[in-house]
Amino acid sequence: MNTKRCSGYKGHWACEYPDNMVPVEEFAMNQGYCRKCQSFRNSIREPKRPKHPTNGRNKRDWKHSYAISLGGKRGTPEWQSYLDVAEEQFEKEILKDVIYNIAPPFNLARTKRKLPKVDRPKSIRITTKKIVDPRGYVYIFKDHMKSDGLYKIGASYEPQKRLDQANVWGDFESIYESEEVADCAKLEKEVHQSLRKYQVKGEWFNVPKDIAINTIKELVNESFNYAVTG
């Protein structure tokens, strides 16, 4: 009988073979410990792993399942990008659980007016998401769960949808949306550059509201590239 020494887990052996020499067929694939020691290891480590707030699955398994549901395939060059999307979704669901179960109730419909939307073709996914219509709006959102003067400045072809998504993890109100422009991502980038001295992180800016609104208006007026012709 072919045997192999089991390394155990942190000085503990669940296999209990003499001198820890275990039959080869009882080893877990590509591991230095046998299946019994692997089960012991998992029983110790599993409770420490992050869990999904509603179904209780550990974070790694949930992310893999979610990535596969989006069309990702393990071992492909695009697999990591699908895992990155799954990571973002996992964090959103954690935040949603915190907000609805810990934070006090808040108003999810502060913005009463209907926000604009660009009717455009759906994006095409080849290996990455390809935007076929860059039209849209640059918006300013205020999260009332954060300090005064802190605004989220972003771009979207459908600000209402973006607002609804944001209200999963905050108490958002749309303060301003630009007129429809030909390339909202380009305008967003230039707005961020113009306001960089106020930038806190990413799309978050600690800036007076009037300065943020006037900066967007000025950039739209200065650039012919932003015009949307009828």
Residue 4 φ then ψ, to 5°: -150, 145
d(CA 164, CA 179): 20
pLDDT at 86 over 60: yes
> How does pLDDT run across 20-71, given as a tens digit for each residue?
888 888 886 666 778 888 877 777 665 556 766 666 677 777 788 888 888 8
> How does pLDDT run across 174-204, given as a tens digit for each residue?
999 999 999 999 999 999 999 999 999 889 9
Per-residue pLDDT, 10: 80
Instruction: For CA atoms 61, 62, 68, 73, give the dihedral sign.
Output: negative
The confidence band for 105, taking pLDDT boundaries of 50, 70 and 90, is very low
Across 81-110, average pLDDT = 65
d(CA 228, CA 166): 27
Q: What percent of the chain is helix, strand and coil (3-state, nearest 5)?
A: 40, 20, 40
d(CA 144, CA 142): 6
- Concatenating the DSSP letter of every residue in 58-86 gives BHHHHHHHHHHHTT--TTSTTHHHHHHHH
d(CA 3, CA 20): 9
Per-residue pLDDT, 78: 85
Q: Which residue has the higher pLDDT, 136 or 18?
A: 136
Mean pLDDT of the chain: 80
pLDDT at 104 over 80: no
CB burial of residue 76 (10 Å; 0-12, 13-18, 19+): exposed
Q: What is the largest CA-CA distance in the chain?
A: 83
- Of the candidates 220, 227, 208, the residue with the CA atom closest to the CA atom of residue 138: 220
Domain residue ranges in the chain:
3-46, 49-101, 124-226
Per-residue pLDDT, 67: 85
| pTM, 2 dp | 0.48
